[in-house]
Copies of this chain bind each other. A is one copy, B any other.
Amino acid sequence: MYVTAASTAEDVVETGPSKRSIVRQRTVTIKPGKHLFLEGDPADYIYQVASGVLRLTRIMEDGRRQVIAFGYPGDTVGFPSDGLYHTDCDALVPSTLVVHRRAHLESAKGDPVLHQRLLLAALREISGMQDHFMMLGRKSSIEKLASFLMVLTARVGEPLGEFEQVTLPMTRADIADFLGLTTETVSRTFTQLRKSQIIAIDHVNTVIILKPIALRCIAEGDDN
């Protein structure tokens, strides 16, 4: 068993080296609600999301929570600092992850191509986090939610007739904690976008983008 979080290690399933390529890739699967790692765990592994969605969170002693990021396929999670993880990480839906040893990031001794990829992922991470700062610090609730939907649609949107549709695997509370709002405000803001005919909502967790241009305008704060 190679996974770090002792309390949850039994829930993470080693699926062994892939047989499909010459380079052996170790992967794990993780079920919803189970933790991949916790803040403070020694960070011996870095994970690349192959399928599913992860949730990276930080929690204050009094229970206030900040969702740092959602990890979608292609994303890399678990960048260490001082050899420790600095967030909790769990799965929103069943997920599969490619596992890399931390050593592969921190020295180029191993596979230089892999090293390079992990490094670029870290730099992309920094850039993405800078966007998020602007969102948390300076945007209104509707701008925040519009930005969130724009990013998610660009990333994992699917065409649906003439529109685009995006499935939200996270709860309203997750979105709230990601955007620095409350669940009530997120819910009201969804309603507001729905009543403006900018989005439609199907079964609570499926959003159809009816007016992508209007949504982008709101996200970027054009006029009000």
Contact = CB atoms under 8 A, between A and B. Distances in A.
A220 B127 contact: no
A160 to B, nearest CB: 30
Interface stretch (A11-19, A23-31, A63-71): A63-71
Given A61-B220, A116-B106, A221-B62, A122 B133 contact: no
Given A132-B133, A134-B66, A221 B126 contact: no
A152 B220 CA distance: 32
Contact of A66 (B115, B119, B133, B222): B133
A86 interface: yes
Contacts of A21: none
Interface in A89-135: 105-108, 112, 115-116, 119-120, 122-127, 129-130, 132-134
A79 interface: yes
A-B CB proximity, top 10 nearest: A137-B180, A81-B127, A108-B108, A136-B136, A66-B134, A64-B138, A129-B129, A136-B137, A66-B137, A86-B127
Contacts of A107: 116
Contact of A134 (B60, B115, B221): B60
A60 B130 CA distance: 13
Contact of A138 (B60, B87, B221, B222): B60
30 contacts: A58-B130, A60-B134, A60-B220, A60-B221, A61-B220, A64-B134, A65-B138, A66-B137, A68-B130, A68-B133, A79-B126, A79-B127, A80-B123, A81-B123, A81-B126, A81-B127, A86-B127, A86-B130, A105-B119, A106-B119, A107-B116, A108-B112, A108-B115, A119-B122, A122-B122, A125-B126, A126-B129, A129-B133, A132-B133, A138-B177
Q: Quick one: which of A64, A116, A179 has the most chain B CB within 10 A?
A: A64
Contacts of A133: 58, 66, 68, 129, 132-133, 136
